[in-house]
Amino acid sequence: MSDVTPLMEMSDISVKFGFVHALKQVSLSVRHREVLAVVGDNGAGKSTLIKIMSGLLHPDSGTMKWQGEAVTLPSIRAAAQLGVAAVFQGQSFCDNLDVSANLFLGKELRDNHLRRDDETMQERTRQVLQSLSSAIRVGQPMASLSMGQKQTVSIARTLLDNPQLILLDEPTSALSVMQTAEVLNYIKRMRAEGQSIVMVCHDLPDVFAVADRIAVMRQGRLVGVLETAKTSYETVVALISGIDPETVMNETERIDALTDAQARAHALRGTRAICLDQI
């Protein structure tokens, strides 16, 4: 399959919960070997979008393609069989078990005598953790891990089946600066290994650090898809807020031309007022 053909393509996807339109005719594609960030305010439809992509939710209308072929994703298992894996917020673990047992929880390997094959599972866990350059030990109890390390285990669990597309819902939420840097390095490494990643993220510095493209959601609609290298924080924030990006950019250019510190601070206050007036 040519890399020109999108890995996953969604066309006119709509989802309604009662009277609430969570997604409104969203069309979005995921390229091969890219990190696509999905950003937006609370309730914009970001998490709903990746739940559709993972098979956890079903769209009310619209179509999906996988490597150019029309598909339906009735379940997470069906998506996994295609090559889609997801890490949602609030992943649960069994703290009384070790890392290896948690990675294979519910899909334990068996030997020829149908006995649980702990040795093979530990070796496979070790390989996956090494691919992420993680120092976590396979026999380490989950209860002893930090939040960042547990997020690493969540990501490692998705890699067991060598997926082509990995969906991450707020992967750096509630992590320390060092833990966030570690997770972002994992994302870069997975892209280098040939996988595509879609990450929902509210932290724009994290987005600009790893994303190739940024999809901006607002009130259930996709309002823009931007090449990260060709855009700015101001443009992304303007689209999230429903403001004309040119208004913000023109004001930013005017501010940049000022040299007096007091005048600059005054202009910045005026820019915030412009934004508030237009939201």
Amino acid in the structure at residue 117 = D
Phi, psi (degrees; rounded to nearest 5) at 30: -115, 125
The pTM of the full predicted model, rounded to 2 decimals, is 0.82
What pLDDT is recorded for position 150? 87
Could you tell me how many residues make up the chain? Answer: 279
What pLDDT is recorded for position 160? 85
CATH number of 8-242: 3.40.50.300
What pLDDT is recorded for position 27? 96
pLDDT digits (tens, 9 = 90+) for 31-86: 999 999 999 999 899 999 999 999 999 999 999 999 999 999 999 999 999 999 99
Which is more confident, 267 or 208? Answer: 208
What pLDDT is recorded for position 227? 95
Residues 18-24: what's their mean pLDDT? 92
What pLDDT is recorded for position 217? 96
Residues 224-240: what's their mean pLDDT? 91
Residues 123-133: what's their mean pLDDT? 87
**Looking only at Cα atoms, what is the longest distance across the chain?**
79
What pLDDT is recorded for position 279? 45
Give me the torsion for CA of 58, 59, 64, 66, rounded to 10°.
-20
**Annotated domain spans of the chain:** 8-242, 243-279
Residues 124-140: what's their mean pLDDT? 86
